[in-house]
């Protein structure tokens, strides 16, 4: 059994590596927002950081102290070109193949298994899912219930999907009041952006395009908020979040194509510093974009794995968006993401952060910002994370060969220590594959796709000792993964398509009953409504999250959708909103 022998092996390897393994904090004292990092610390307790003399990489003991320069190439020196990939040793001739690419560059198939879906089942499923999008006015609902900074302030505007927030209704005004640190808001925000990109490029819908623009700006805001002052030489390091000014405004026709309903945003309850094991919050009084802002530092792998996966779709917005204002917003996001990932690569594969005085440093004594913490145990550990940064930053591989992206010791042990590490591992795998396809690294993409098929097989046919298979969200999380993987070339089997149907319909059935899609409606009484179950429907038992329910827009849009796979939906209906729900 996996639990009976892998951990002793890792302990032995850690002892051989030398040093003392970090001790994980008591998990009972972690707040829910910290859960995504809990598994990383547990893994650290099982495996010591590798010796720099063995790996040749920068190690935590070598990190610069706050205020010191890391010695990395400054990504602020020269603006990264967001629209054209750096030339790399790809398999395609850059002069002959359109960029971004428009199809899967190789043939890839899998043997089918399971009972095939009937045309009637696909039709009914498509009607139910698209009907929910239509009845909820899904992207309009996202615009209304997200917040950031409104353009009426005269400051750079953006939206994010915040989690630690309370909606307070008083008459015709709804105030979105920040009530927590919101350490991992770009997990859900990344999914929203990816499916909005698909919806916008499939349909040309203005509202979906506005979500794309605002969420691109929201991602950029995580980096702009981390700029200390106008002289900061490192503009691309990423915060966990940026909290600006309190303000009230109207969702008017001119800006929002809405009916003038009143909305307010309050961050001020969070205007205080703190220091946790996984993040610090502090004030930057002279930020060049918003003036006085509060930022939360130590951006970690929990969100970045989702962000770099979604990054593979941004070139299509910049190339194909029908509205210039959307192209411009996402082109800037691409520029910032390129700078952010160049800093990761140039810093020895560490996600650097800044302190309260604006000085950059590598997070010491823990792995939440490291892609090389465990390479001394297995050089394949976290290879796909490094490869994803290589590709976004430079357009080709600089790390070791990741092969299929599967089979490393990290993949096996991390998921024992914490369930959420499954999401980190599979999203970095998909990020490496998606960006390899975009940057035409075809041989590496093919190997990674083979590994993704292996991963899908292991998830849909888990062994008796697969630690995650007992988690209540296992099957619905696998269903979400399968749709995301199918967007990157994985041909689904009939068995997998039926699993997707099962867990999407569980969600649709629950979300159809949600009574508060429009908080401003007179039927909704004044009061306080939390994010989970208040102004958003709670996650359906055995169903996908509400922020994932429109992922078929990403799937049907994707140029890498594999024609040999079983499609769970009718993409001709998905691309035509007039047919949604019919």
Contacts of 405 (CB under 8 A, 6+ apart): 383, 384, 429, 432, 433, 447, 448, 451, 452
**Residue 281 pLDDT greater than 90, yes or no:** yes
Predicted TM-score of the model (pTM): 0.88
**Residue 24 pLDDT greater than 50, yes or no:** no
Per-residue confidence band for 96, with pLDDT thresholds at 50, 70 and 90: low
Per-residue confidence band for 3, with pLDDT thresholds at 50, 70 and 90: very low
DSSP-derived pairing of the beta strands 261-266 and 274-275: unpaired
Contacts of 527 (CB under 8 A, 6+ apart): 168, 169
Name the 3-class secondary structure at 532. strand
Per-residue confidence band for 498, with pLDDT thresholds at 50, 70 and 90: very high
In DSSP terms, 528 is beta-bridged to: 168
The DSSP secondary structure of 340-378, one letter per residue, reads HHHHHHHTTSB--EE-TTS-EEPPPS-STTBSSTTTTT-
Q: What is the pLDDT of residue 90?
A: 53
Instruction: List Cβ<8 Å contacts ≥24 apart for 124-127.
Output: 125/501, 125/504, 125/505, 125/568, 125/569, 126/569, 126/570, 126/573, 126/574, 127/573, 127/581, 127/582
Joined tokens for residue 364: 């010491």
**Residue 406 pLDDT greater than 90, yes or no:** yes
Name the percent of the chain lying above pLDDT 90: 83
pLDDT tens sequence across 393-405: 999 999 999 999 9
Closest CA to 431 of 563, 313, 561: 313
Structural Rg of the chain based on CA atoms: 23
Joined tokens for residue 316: 């299509």
- Cβ atoms of residues 481 and 453 within 8 Å: no
- Phi, psi (deg, nearest 5) at residue 78: 90, 125
**Residue 109 pLDDT greater than 80, yes or no:** yes
Contacts of 10 (CB under 8 A, 6+ apart): 46, 47, 377, 409, 413
Average pLDDT taken over every residue of the chain: 88
pLDDT tens sequence across 50-60: 333 333 333 32
What's the rounded mean pLDDT across residues 516-520? 98
Q: How many CA atoms lie within 13 A of 426 on its CB side?
A: 24
CA distances from 389 to 350, 353, 386 (A): 10, 16, 5
Closest CA to 149 of 261, 61, 249: 249
In DSSP terms, 284 is beta-bridged to: 293
C-alpha span between 410 and 378 (Å, rounded):
8
Specify which of 37-46, 64-73, 97-106 reaches the highest per-range mean pLDDT.
97-106
**Residue 23 pLDDT greater than 50, yes or no:** no
Per-residue confidence band for 98, with pLDDT thresholds at 50, 70 and 90: confident
Residue ranges per structural domain of the chain = 2-22+36-579
What's the rounded mean pLDDT across residues 136-157? 98
C-alpha span between 161 and 215 (Å, rounded):
9
What's the rounded mean pLDDT across residues 551-560? 98
Q: What is the pLDDT of residue 49?
A: 37
Q: What is the pLDDT of residue 204?
A: 98
Q: What is the pLDDT of residue 419?
A: 97
What's the rounded mean pLDDT across residues 161-176? 98
The DSSP secondary structure of 270-296, one letter per residue, reads G-S-EE-SS-EEEEEEEETTTEEEEEE
Per DSSP, helices labelled H in 403-473 are 409-417, 421-438, 442-460
């Amino acid at each position: 059994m996996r639990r009976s022998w892998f951990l002793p092996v890792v302990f032995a390897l850690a002892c051989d590596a030398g040093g003392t393994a970090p001790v994980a904090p008591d998990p009972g004292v972690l707040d829910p927002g910290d859960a995504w990092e809990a598994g990383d610390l547990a893994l650290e307790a099982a495996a010591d950081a590798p010796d720099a003399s063995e790996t040749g990489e920068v190690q935590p003991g070598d990190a610069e102290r706050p205020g010191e320069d890391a010695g990395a190439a400054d990504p602020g020196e020269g603006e990264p070109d967001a629209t054209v990939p750096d030339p790399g040793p790809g398999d395609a001739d850059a002069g002959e193949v359109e960029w971004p690419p428009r199809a899967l560059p190789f043939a890839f198939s899998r043997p089918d298994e399971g009972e095939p879906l009937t045309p009637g089942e696909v039709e009914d499923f498509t009607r139910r899912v698209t009907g929910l999008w239509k009845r909820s006015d899904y992207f309009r609902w996202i615009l209304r219930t997200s917040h950031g900074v409104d353009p009426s302030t005269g400051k750079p505007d953006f939206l994010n999907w915040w989690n630690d927030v309370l909606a307070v209704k008083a008459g015709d005004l709804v105030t979105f009041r920040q009530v927590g640190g919101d350490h991992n808001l770009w997990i859900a925000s990344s999914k929203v952006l990816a499916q909005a990109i698909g919806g916008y490029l499939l349909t040309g819908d203005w509202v979906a395009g506005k979500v794309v623009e605002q969420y691109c700006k929201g991602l950029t805001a995580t980096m702009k908020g981390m700029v200390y002052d106008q002289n900061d030489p490192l503009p691309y390091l990423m915060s966990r979040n940026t909290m600006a000014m309190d303000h009230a405004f109207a969702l008017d026709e001119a800006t929002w194509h809405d009916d003038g309903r009143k909305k307010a945003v309050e961050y001020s309850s969070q205007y205080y510093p703190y220091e946790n094991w996984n993040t610090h919050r502090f004030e930057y009084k002279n930020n060049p974009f918003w003036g006085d802002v509060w930022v939360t530092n130590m951006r970690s792998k929990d969100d970045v794995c989702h962000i770099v996966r979604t990054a593979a779709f941004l070139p299509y917005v910049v190339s194909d968006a029908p509205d210039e204002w959307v192209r411009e917003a996402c082109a800037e996001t691409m520029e910032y993401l390129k700078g952010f990932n160049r800093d990761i690569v140039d810093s020895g594969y560490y996600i650097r952060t800044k302190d309260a005085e604006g000085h950059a440093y590598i997070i010491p004594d823990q792995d939440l910002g490291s892609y090389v913490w465990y390479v001394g145990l297995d050089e394949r550990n976290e290879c796909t994370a490094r490869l994803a940064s290589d590709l976004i930053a430079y357009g080709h591989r600089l790390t070791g060969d990741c092969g299929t992206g599967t089979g490393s010791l990290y993949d096996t042990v991390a998921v024992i220590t914490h369930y959420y590490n499954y999401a980190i591992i599979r999203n970095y795998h998909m990020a490496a594959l998606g960006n390899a396809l975009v940057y035409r690294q075809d041989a590496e993409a093919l190997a990674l796709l083979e590994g993704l098929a292996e991963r899908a097989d292991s998830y849909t046919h888990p062994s008796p000792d697969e630690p995650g298979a007992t988690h209540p969200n296992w099957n619905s999380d696998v269903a979400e993964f399968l749709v995301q993987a199918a967007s990157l070339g994985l041909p689904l089997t009939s068995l997998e398509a039926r699993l997707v149907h099962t867990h999407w319909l569980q969600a649709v059935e629950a979300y159809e009953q949600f009574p508060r899609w429009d908080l401003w409606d007179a039927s909704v009484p004044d009061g306080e409504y939390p994010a989970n179950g208040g102004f958003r429907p709670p996650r359906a038992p055995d169903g996908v999250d509400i922020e994932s329910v429109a992922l078929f827009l990403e799937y049907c849009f994707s140029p890498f959708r594999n024609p040999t796979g079983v499609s769970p939906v009718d993409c001709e209906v998905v691309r035509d909103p007039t047919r949604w729900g019919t």
